[in-house]
Amino acid sequence: MIEYFRRTPAARRTALVSPAVGAILLFMVLPLGLMLIYSFLQRATYGGVIWTLSFQSYIQFLFEHDLDDSLIFNSAYLQIYARSFILAGITTVLCVIIGFPTALYLVQQSERRRNILMFLVTIPFWTNLLVRTYAWILLLRREGLVDYGLQAVGITDAPLGLLYTDVANLIGLVYSFLPFMVLPIYSSLEKLDFRLVEAAYDLGANRITALRRIVIPLAMPGIAAGCILVLVPCLGAYVTPELLGGGKALMIGNLIQQQFGASQNWPFGAALSFALLAIVLIALIAYSLRFGRGALTEGR
């Protein structure tokens, strides 16, 4: 048996990848498939589903029933999607603006310093997101540390009351997703040959031009990867908008959670999830068509 695997490369490959494939099948494809099926079923009154085919959930996403039971267009859910995309988009842009200079600074440090700083960047991963988000509540709440600090240095003269606003939500999102932007940009900048920057200086480019014409284009794979790593999970963010946005400013994640929780409408929750998945997939396919095959996997 062992001899067989040793001799046959194809069999060996199959044997080696099968645990990973098995895990993906069991923990991703199976639950997703279940969700897909749920989205086409009828809701049961107290949660769960009734096994009857129904397109009601997808209809509900775009329409509502009028008093005379005719369907009229309802943009409420689309608005939540739109605001999620806007918030996720702003978060991504802010993460690039903060993350790129950070990564650029990191790669220019000595090896020893770089390792320490990289360790600091990854430190947030060591504690639970929930705990870290609660810490932001303490910072952002009315007359919290942020208010106190701003007033102490005289920038503001009244409490801002940032908590439970979109600003608080954005701060929390940028905070929690920033490392996912820094790390891929760092790894693409680390591969960048800084002699190319010297060559650009040599040919008459100043710092800004060298950055624009040489560094940023060559770091583009990292920037793109970072944007995907921030944008996609940010769309489905749940903890941050729930705690810092106060659940008032709904994002897609909160909406889906509500359907499985308070509203007890599992098929609708499943349909909402699949609408999001479809949008993200279309965006990623468009991206890889634009930047060529392997753009996502090879980072080119």
Partner 1 sequence: MGEGVGSCIPAIEARSVVKSFPGGAVALDHVSIDIRPNEFFTLLGPSGCGKTTLLRLIAGFEQPTAGEIYLDGERIEHLPPFRRPINTVFQSYALFPHMTVGQNIAFGLEMQGIAKAEIARRVAEMLALVKLEGFEGRKADQMSGGQQQRVALARALANKPKVLLLDEPLSALDLKLRKEMQFELKRLQTETGITFVFVTHDQEEALTMSDRIAVMSAGRVLQVGAPRDIYENPEHRFVADFIGETDFLDAMVEASDDAGVRYRLSSGAFIDGPPQDFNAGASVALSTRPERLHLGDAAGDGLAGTIDAVVYFGTDTTFHVALDGGAGSIRVREQNIAGKPFPFDRGDRVTIQMPRAAVRAFRDFKG
- Cite the beta strand spans of the chain per DSSP E: 41-43, 49-53, 63-65, 71-73
For partner 1, which residue of 3, 111, 202, 298 counts as binding (CB under 8 A)?
202
Q: How many CA atoms lie within 13 A of 132 on its CB side?
A: 16
The distance of closest approach from Cβ of residue 206 to partner 1 in the complex, given in angstroms and rounded to an integer, is: 5
For partner 1, which residue of 200, 244, 251, 252 counts as binding (CB under 8 A)?
200
According to the binding rule CB under 8 A, does residue 199 interact with partner 1? yes
Query: Which 8-state DSSP code applies to residue 216?
Result: H
Q: Angle at the Cα of 224 (from 177 to 118), degrees rounded to 5?
A: 50
According to the binding rule CB under 8 A, does residue 101 interact with partner 1? no
Rounded Cα distance, 125 and 64, in Å? 42
For partner 1, which residue of 18, 75, 127, 206 counts as binding (CB under 8 A)?
206
According to the binding rule CB under 8 A, does residue 218 interact with partner 1? yes
Q: Angle at the Cα of 242 (from 146 to 161), degrees rounded to 5?
A: 30
| Residue nearer to partner 1 on the CB measure, 80 or 192 | 192
| Residue nearer to partner 1 on the CB measure, 58 or 291 | 291
Rounded Cα distance, 123 and 252, in Å? 28
| Residue nearer to partner 1 on the CB measure, 18 or 206 | 206
For partner 1, which residue of 198, 282, 286, 289 counts as binding (CB under 8 A)?
198
The distance of closest approach from Cβ of residue 300 to partner 1 in the complex, given in angstroms and rounded to an integer, is: 10
Footprint of partner 1 on 138-197 (CB under 8 A):
193, 195-196
According to the binding rule CB under 8 A, does residue 3 interact with partner 1? no
Q: Angle at the Cα of 94 (from 162 to 125), degrees rounded to 5?
A: 85
Number of residues that bind partner 1 (CB under 8 A): 17
According to the binding rule CB under 8 A, does residue 109 interact with partner 1? no
The distance of closest approach from Cβ of residue 231 to partner 1 in the complex, given in angstroms and rounded to an integer, is: 24
Q: Could you give the angle at which helices 129-140 and 166-190 cross, rounded to 10 degrees?
A: 130
Q: Angle at the Cα of 229 (from 112 to 241), degrees rounded to 5?
A: 110
The distance of closest approach from Cβ of residue 215 to partner 1 in the complex, given in angstroms and rounded to an integer, is: 11
Rounded Cα distance, 89 and 86, in Å? 5
List residues near partner 1 by CB under 8 A.
193, 195-196, 198-206, 209, 213-214, 217-218
